[in-house]
């Protein structure tokens, strides 16, 4: 991680306003927050700063929107506005599906009925595509609402066996 930070510092010195490099810096600090201790806030705040900078340069880039939704969720903030924007500008992107399931179900209690409905729709639509369905497995396994997710899948006849078999 230290090498990644040093490399990023150099890249950002050379290209301070490049949204791809800002997004890369965002990812490094999100991963650092995970590796150094269960979503450490100081790293997430730094990741958020980079993500907001990338967002300001490319406000319709769904990657920035889903990342900001995750950061808000990890920081205990309501991610609804970022989820709505990611749906608006990246509704067919795989990352939008994955983020809605991870963040939407994780932050369920803070979402309004429209966001909850969108979260369920992303879960069900994604479960119909084998590539996305396979990517759901670790998200479902780690979700605080795993039982609810599996119930939605079973009731609607979707089949994501591995995480919902137990």
Q: Would 50 be classed as within a structural domain?
A: no
Q: How many domains does the chain have?
A: 1
Q: Residue 165 above 80 pLDDT?
A: no
pTM, to two decimals: 0.91
Q: Are residues 73 and 105 in contact, defined by beta-carbon separation less than 8 angstroms?
A: no
Q: Does 65 map to a domain?
A: no
- The parent domain of residue 148 ranges over 90-166
**Segment 34-83, tens digit of pLDDT:** 888 777 899 999 999 999 999 999 999 999 999 999 999 999 999 999 99
Cα 99 from Cα 147, distance rounded (Å): 18
CA distances 20 to 30, 63, 66, 107, Å, are 15, 10, 14, 27
What integer pLDDT is reported at residue 159 of this predicted model?
66
Q: With b meaning 16 or more CB within 10 Å and e meaning fewer, what string describes 21-54?
A: bbbbbbbbbbebbeeeeebbeebbebbbebbebb
The answer as to whether 113 is a domain residue is yes
Sequence-distant (6+) residues with CB within 8 A of 16 are none
Indicate whether 82 belongs to any domain.
Answer: no
Quick check: is 157 in a domain?
A: yes
What average pLDDT does this structure show over 94-105? 97
Which residue stretches of 15-112 are H helix?
Answer: 19-35, 41-57, 62-74, 80-90, 94-99, 105-106
Question: Does residue 117 form part of some domain?
Answer: yes
Q: Residue 3 pLDDT more than 80?
A: no
Judge whether 138 lies within some domain: yes
Q: What is the pLDDT of residue 106?
A: 97
CA distance 80 to 116: 9
Quick check: helix, strand or coil at residue 82?
helix
- Residue 142: inside a domain, yes or no? yes
CA distances from 129 to 126, 135, 140 (A): 5, 10, 16
Determine the pLDDT at residue 38: 73
Nearest to 124 by CA among 102, 145, 96, 97: 97
Using CA atoms in the order 26, 32, 34, 38, what is the torsion angle rounded to 10 degrees?
A: -110
| Higher local confidence (pLDDT), 8 or 115 | 115
């Amino acid at each position: 991680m230290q090498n990644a930070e040093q490399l990023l510092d150099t890249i950002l010195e050379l290209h301070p306003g490049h949204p791809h490099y800002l997004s890369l810096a965002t990812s490094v600090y999100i991963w650092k927050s995970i590796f150094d201790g269960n979503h450490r806030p100081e790293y997430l705040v730094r990741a958020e700063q980079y993500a907001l900078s990338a967002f300001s340069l490319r406000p319709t880039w769904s990657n920035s929107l889903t990342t900001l939704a995750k950061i808000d969720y990890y920081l205990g903030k309501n991610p609804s506005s970022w989820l709505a924007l990611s749906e608006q500008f990246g509704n067919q992107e795989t990352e939008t599906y994955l983020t809605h399931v991870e963040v939407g179900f994780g932050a369920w209690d803070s979402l309004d009925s429209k966001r909850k409905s969108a979260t369920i729709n992303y879960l069900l639509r994604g479960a119909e595509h084998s590539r996305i369905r396979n990517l759901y497995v670790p998200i479902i396994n780690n979700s605080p609402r795993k039982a609810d997710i599996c119930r939605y899948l079973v009731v609607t006849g979707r089949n994501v066996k591995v995480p919902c078999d137990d």
